[in-house]
Amino acid sequence: MSSKKKTNNKPTGEAGDVPFFRRPTKMVLIIFTSLWALATFLILAAATNAFTEPLFPVSTRFYILFALVLYNTWAVFALYRNYFIHQRTLRDEEAAKSPKKGKKT
């Protein structure tokens, strides 16, 4: 008796497969925003030796840290963008399903 398993041909590991990134909730936004703020604070504290040295002029040794901060900021903005796009889509779907008020035929 041979049992055939269904194979899922859907590729994995892409950004489209991550549900909390494609359709984030308010709780996901709160968690990621707080983690972003904490990470940015810690990176800036490390780069400025606990805020005792000036941040600018930026020395070349901090380029990777600043790139990390920029990437994290971009990812958080992408989460917010996906959240608002998803909310607008849900609002439009609900509006399309609800009956129109006013005209009676």
Phi, psi of 31, deg, nearest 5: -65, -50
Measured in degrees and rounded to the nearest 5, phi and psi for residue 14 equal -95, 165
Q: What is the pTM of this model?
A: 0.65
Residues in the chain: 105
* Residues 67-104: tens digit of each pLDDT: 888 999 999 999 999 999 888 887 888 888 877 765 55
Burial class (CB in 10 A: 0-12, 13-18, 19+), 24: buried
Q: Residue type at 14?
A: E
Q: What angle do CA 74, 79, 81 make, to 5 degrees?
A: 90
In the chain, where are the structural domains located?
Answer: 23-95
Residue with tokens 């008020």: 101
pLDDT tens column, 34-70: 999 999 999 888 877 777 777 666 667 778 888 888 9
